Amino acid sequence: MWMSKFKKLIAKKNKTKIVSLTAYSKNIASILDNHCDIILVGDSLGSVLYNYKSTREVTLSTIIEHSKSVRMGVKKSLMIVDMPHNTYRTSKEALKNAKQIMKKTKCDGVKLEGGKKIYETIKTLVKNKIPVMGHLGLLPQSDKTFKFKGKKKVERDRILRDSQLLEKAGVFSIVLECVETSLAKLVTQNIKVPTVGIGASKYCDGQILVFDDLIGLNPINYKFVKKYLNIRKEISKAVSNYSKEVRKVKFPNKKSSF
């Protein structure tokens, strides 16, 4: 049964924190694979790599091609792929596209955004042995404004209810994005599958960040991101040194020539 592949991850709940990052290529994925439980080929690649205004512009073919590259770098982590906007409007459409993603990328599962609205869709995928990761809170594919979730009672009640619905539908975990701290804690305590937070406090069962944000490649600063490295500075330094050596005819030297 496919769920057996995810038992180890689910067993981490309330015991060991889950580590997750995004990757869009083989080289990066091969590095992250040594440290992560989950590697997500996120539709965040739309803004990170293509300068799209939103993730809604990412196509199925684009995410499949990046996922094929990532797959070559992943050996031990669970590899999950975002289903792009407008690829799961109906259960039939979702099943067709999810099967295509699974077959072409050899990923371990897919991620869908939403709650009650996609309950039957998730049930259909799980019934067809396609592992699903849920996503609640801020939903980049449908939300028009970037605001944290959980301030209003009606919003809190809906997210908690949706998390229980997603669990019932069969998801193996749920991403909580930009969810208010006490709500993230409440959701995490009230479901048996792990929650993975991004801007959703330490009370989630794990954390996920966009890799380019973590290393400082993205110059934009988000409240929920900690930059562990200023890679832009390091790249600039390396390119500057290369440029100087080329102009002073120090590179290529004899050792670098045939």
Tokens representing 224?
């929920």
H-only helix segments in 76-202: 91-105, 119-127, 153-169, 181-190
DSSP-assigned beta bridge partners for residue 21: 39, 209
CA 48 – CA 145 distance, rounded (Å): 18
* 24-52: burial string, b at 16+ Cβ within 10 Å, e else: beeebbeebbeebbbbbbbbbbbbbeeeb
> Hey, what amino acid is at 3?
M
Tokens representing 257?
């020539």
**9, 37 in Cβ contact below 8 A?**
yes
* 202-227: burial string, b at 16+ Cβ within 10 Å, e else: ebbbbbbbbbbbbbbbbeeeeeebeb
**Residue (of 13, 77, 74, 45) closest to 218 by Cα position:** 45
Query: Considering 177, 180, 234, 245, which one is annotated as catalytic?
Result: 177
**Residue (of 149, 195, 160, 198) closest to 44 by Cα position:** 198
Burial of residue 54 (number of CB atoms within 10 Å: 0-12, 13-18, 19+): middle
**118, 90 in Cβ contact below 8 A?**
no
Task: Map tokens 């930059």 to a residue.
Answer: 227
Does residue 177 have an active-site annotation? yes
Residues designated as active site = 177
